[in-house]
Amino acid sequence: MAGQLEGKVALVTGAATGIGAACARALAREGATVVCTSLPTDPIQEVVDSILAAGNRAVGIPLNVTNGEEAVQVVDRVVAELGGVHILLNNAGITDDQLFIRMKPESWRRVLAVNLDGVFNVTQPVVRHMVRQREGRIVSISSVVGLMGNAGQANYAASKAAIIGFTKSLARELGSRNITVNAIAPGYIQTPMTAKLTEEQRQALLANLAIPRLGTPEDIAEAVVFLVGPAGAYISGEVLNVSGGLYM
């Protein structure tokens, strides 16, 4: 039986691990041809191989989202070789945490360069193609921290809050072209980032959750599939909070 995304091409940034890898696999299971991108040093081929082994379609292309020219080249290549880009998932992101009073300017710039400039660099060339094909779904991974703030993460919170404003503005610009634009705000998810937490820190986090467990990358992937599939056709400019009740 064909999946709900059969015939679609999905471009995923930061697809080598964690949320990006889970989303790439979920989109492929629904029938999309998934273009998995990440830094050349990341294990992107492992994700591609796992998708192919499951009988689904994927290719891997190295991409540094902070390089605007490289992003344009990758998008143009995908359109030329696969016929279009119907789904974009902006997932690439980093943290560089420090109390603001001690934060170095390079830490601020580095996080904004990946988390926010990277979204601009990839989304603009994708949108140009989506406008021509009069169809598209864009989802960007924000964070619950972008909604509520978090001590020691002024740079990360600023970048993720900016994605929300970007999403709402772009949704207004592109709705008439049959393009929806949404964001997902994950809470604390089981990724290499949260694996570094001590047990004490982990228990403190769980105490603040309505659903007393860390989220999984698959929890986020299901939300992505919902937004880019037929069920999300009349949803745009929204921020889907997937945080287990951390922020209400």
As annotated, the active-site residues are: 156
Q: Residue 188 — left, alpha, or beta (φ > 0 → left; ψ -120 to 50 → alpha)? A: beta
Token pair belonging to 223: 């939300």
Check residue 42 and report its DSSP letter. S
Supply angle C-alpha 69, 71, 72, rounded to 5. 65
Listed in sequence order, the DSSP H helices in the chain are: 18-29, 44-53, 68-82, 105-112, 118-133, 145-148, 154-174, 199-206, 217-228
CA end-to-end distance (rounded Å), the chain: 38
Check residue 66 and report its DSSP letter. T
Nearest to 17 by CA among 43, 39, 40: 43
Query: Is the four-CA dihedral 171, 25, 142, 208 of positive or negative sign?
Result: positive
Three-state secondary structure call for residue 137: strand
